[in-house]
Chains A and B, each alone.
Chain A
């Protein structure tokens, strides 16, 4: 009887879904949930490593948040983040989809190009950034040399607030456009040929076919890629660290770089935690909008 009973308990355990996701939950709790709760705790306190030995931790309430929202450098970094995310994301979507359409149309041995396109994604961001830093260099960089040899005047890419932003966007677009391309290529396989043929019979041109047939079908899948890129670009840090150090002025100091500065250069962990919670709220809101309008739009046919 007892044996029967224990067997049934074991069965119950093994058949419950909780048992199988438990390891994942534990991992998640240790690496994500606990740090998040700790970050929330930090954000309400003065947790300043520089003075922690002498002054300890003091509860501040919302002071960290209020002083951030009143700080001009915080808003400057928000503005930079928006410009950066907008520029890089839109460029990557357009280029990525265009590149996928082009690759999809290739026939025969030319298809091998597809695998070459993905190489940038395999590289470490810091390696990419260091290479770009040399390319952009005013005095001996390759890009300046090419521009000059074509008869134009070369200019200091990373030294000018406007060009520095462009330079950063280019380096990120170069590396991550292939991700959108891969996902789009996959999505394009789903588009049924019959639909395209019937559209053609109805007299639809290339653009109309793309707009009314292809795009609605691939968008939910590509949307996931866009969402991933969005979250990644917002968290963008390594290339800024190597390429510009946030300069010139505040031109390339994004919110993540700003948080890094506050937290690990100035050692004000409480304030940095508060800023990252504001960032998190921003990401959640925009992600929800992206999901609503791109990943699962109300399909109108």
Chain B
């Protein structure tokens, strides 16, 4: 009697422990109340909008989220130095060109995605993100390092009112239809026409100030001409670190491309050599130019209340160069990864935040902030009506190309930008400037 009593007590106790253990295994990861995570984000509209919604996430999970938005240059300095010192916030925001540099500091997220306690794969619907975005914006060496948050890609914009008004004149003068340019040569011809024939309207905008925007203005042209700044050992694009990367900025193709770029600048305001993103976007919004080479994130400026061209513009994919069997178009890709600090003690909470902020619902909520990444958002009928650049943006991802995502890119880009700036201001001839840049690039430790 007594023996069986003791036994049954022991059995009950054992069962309680086992159940307890089981309960713990199931519920522990879900209990994050009291956890606090720090988030760094670049100071763009989409990131700033998150603060309006984060209470929903906090109520649902019990995680407190502290968001710090930092301007672009400061973000890189503050965030990367903190990470290199073994610190940094739980969630970090990484420009896709920094991925090679941040690789060691980002926690690959596949294991969180595969964890059914953390992820409902149907709800996440990873395939909803454009494959190019997942590949070039958030993965490095085939490893997913975060979710895409703020997408950026190069497009062109044109003035529908001017195109309509001058269609006949253009046909008379050139014998061609005035339509969305498919090649850079057509683009330049249209720019020339408006520069020469329409008072107060320049042909195109160019972001000519020495800086990263100038680099992004030149590259789609340079690539479609067949040139490159640096390349792999077999001349392939060097989008990741690889053996045998070499500079090749003074190839005949690059020289031809920069000569074209310089001649294109004749059909822009003489002030463009000082233009950055702001000046360029505002100039087009004020009706300064018939065409604009810009990012998808300039569209809200053109559609905004202060715009003089509301309703009179459209977006299109970048032109290219005709090759035997079609047109080679190269839409330069930008955009950001929202990733998890590999040293963070709160990785799971951090993951839940990144998953939530890039979820389908949040994509819709944050649409006014621009930079979506999901097909479901780009094809949403209501949103498409309001944001007329969605089609061109989504289509651009099919022809996207990334800059080399290697740690030395900033230095490579700076040398290139300086050369491009010298060419634009007439300080140096194209070939001389590119030869100088080539020898400086060769000095780098690639």
Contact = CB atoms under 8 A, between A and B. Distances in A.
Interface of A: 49-54, 71-73, 136-139, 155-161, 244-251, 261, 264-267
A53 B105 contact: yes
B425 A249 contact: yes
A107 B136 CA distance: 71
A159 B272 contact: yes
Contact of B443 (A53, A71, A160, A244): A71
Contacts of A250: 418, 422
B273 interface: yes
Interface string B127-166: 0000000000000000000000000000000000000000
Nearest to B428: A249
B271 A247 contact: no
A72 B415 CA distance: 12
Contact of A266 (B210, B288, B411, B440): B411
Contacts of B424: 248
Given A73-B440, A138-B269, 9 more contacts: A49-B80, A155-B270, A156-B270, A158-B274, A159-B425, A244-B209, A246-B418, A248-B425, A249-B422
Contacts of A49: 80-81, 84
B174 interface: no
B274 A161 contact: no
A260 B277 CA distance: 22
Contacts of B270: 138, 155-156, 159
Interface string B388-421: 0000000000000000000110110010011001
B209 A247 contact: yes
Contacts of A53: 84, 104-105
Interface in B276-299: 279, 283, 288
A51 B414 CA distance: 19
Nearest to A263: B77
B208 interface: yes
B87 to A, nearest CB: 13
Given A139-B271, A159-B208, A247-B209, A51 B418 contact: no
B369 interface: no
Nearest to B77: A264
B101 interface: yes
A245 B436 CA distance: 20
A158 B407 CA distance: 31
A229 B15 CA distance: 81
Given A139-B283, A159-B274, A267 B80 contact: yes
Contacts of A71: 443
Contacts of B436: 72
Interface string B343-386: 00000000000000000000000000000000000000000000
Nearest to A157: B274
B210 A265 contact: no
Nearest to A46: B445
13 contacts: A49-B81, A50-B101, A52-B84, A54-B104, A139-B271, A156-B270, A159-B208, A159-B270, A160-B273, A245-B209, A245-B210, A247-B210, A265-B411
A52 B102 CA distance: 11
**Which of A54, A139, A160, A266 has most chain B Cβ within 10 Å?**
A139
B283 to A, nearest CB: 6
B427 interface: yes
A139 B81 contact: no
Contacts of B418: 246-247, 249-250
Contact of A248 (B76, B77, B410, B421): B421
B427 A50 contact: no
Interface string B162-176: 000000000000000
Contact of A249 (B77, B211, B272, B421): B421
A53 B105 CA distance: 9
Contacts of B283: 139
B193 to A, nearest CB: 21
A50 B98 CA distance: 10
Interface string B216-248: 000000000000000000000000000000000
Contacts of A251: 427
Contact of B211 (A136, A139, A245): A245
Interface string B190-226: 0000000000000000001111000000000000000
Nearest to A268: B411
Contact of B271 (A52, A54, A138, A261): A138
A251 to B, nearest CB: 8
A264 B84 CA distance: 13
A267 B105 CA distance: 15
B410 A138 contact: no
**Which of A137, A245, A247, A261 has most chain B Cβ within 10 Å?**
A247
Interface string B253-275: 00000000000000001111110
B210 A139 contact: no
B414 A159 contact: no
A248 B210 contact: yes
B269 A139 contact: yes
Nearest to A141: B271
Contacts of A50: 101, 407-408
Contacts of A158: 209, 273-274
Contacts of A73: 440
A247 B104 contact: no
Contacts of A265: 76, 410-411, 414
A57 to B, nearest CB: 11
Given A244-B210, A245-B209, A137 B279 contact: yes
B84 A261 contact: no
A72 B440 contact: yes
A101 to B, nearest CB: 37
A250 B414 CA distance: 10
A262 to B, nearest CB: 9
Given A138-B269, A161-B427, A261 B414 contact: yes
Nearest to A137: B271
A136 B166 CA distance: 33
Nearest to A76: B418
B445 to A, nearest CB: 9
Contacts of B211: 245, 247
A139 B288 contact: yes
**Which of A54, A136, A157, A264 has most chain B Cβ within 10 Å?**
A264
A251 B410 CA distance: 19
